[in-house]
Amino acid sequence: MAKIGVMIDNMFEDVEYTSPVKAFKDAGHQIINLGIKKGTVKGKKGKASAQIDERIRESDYNYFDAIFIPGGCSPDNLRGHPEAVEFIQNFFNTNKPVFAICHAPQLLITAQLIEGKKITGWKSIVQDIKNAGAQFLDQEVVEDGNLISSRSPDDIPAFISACIKKLE
């Protein structure tokens, strides 16, 4: 059983949180929602909400076996907060799995973690990914070292499969 930290804020892409989280739980893994402050964060479609279990500024990155970053406007909100940028930098450098979907690479770009890496993401951020020195691949799942990435809600089944395989 892996302890998966989910970095999340308001305006997340609803299904990019709910579907993977359900699949991870069904596979026996533990979910800990990490946010800027305690309370509830809401999806941009108004279909889902998430309860923040721990504030990122109080979280120990060593505690987690994997970090999952859902998309929507949540990653852009998170990267405006230095503690979120620092947290993912510290975790990423442990070489444990990081799961990034849709707009999630935005947080990794601000944390300067993707230079030289193969990655995918939502179409609007392709130029940002390239400008960060990464290789953008237009595939449903891209795996490069500890990083697994997908483009959009359509890729969720393949994303989940790759993430769960990585956790085995």
Catalytic residue numbers read 102
Question: Shortest approach of its own copies to residue 136 CB, angstroms?
Answer: 13
Binding segment for its own copies (CB under 8 A), chosen from 60-68, 90-98, 103-111, 156-164, is: 103-111
Q: Is 45 a binder of its own copies (CB under 8 A)?
A: no
Q: Is 154 a binder of its own copies (CB under 8 A)?
A: no
* Residues 8 and 33: beta-carbon distance below 8 Å: yes
Q: Is 146 a binder of its own copies (CB under 8 A)?
A: no
CB-CB neighbours of 5 under 10 Å:
26
Residue closest to 152 by CA, chosen among 124, 130, 110, 132: 124
- Provide the β-strand partners of residue 130: none
Question: Shortest approach of its own copies to residue 117 CB, angstroms?
Answer: 14
Q: Is 151 a binder of its own copies (CB under 8 A)?
A: no
Q: Is 79 a binder of its own copies (CB under 8 A)?
A: yes
Q: Is 4 a binder of its own copies (CB under 8 A)?
A: no
Question: Residues 71, 74, 76, 78: is their CA dihedral positive or negative?
Answer: negative
Residue closest to 11 by CA, chosen among 100, 82, 76, 79: 76
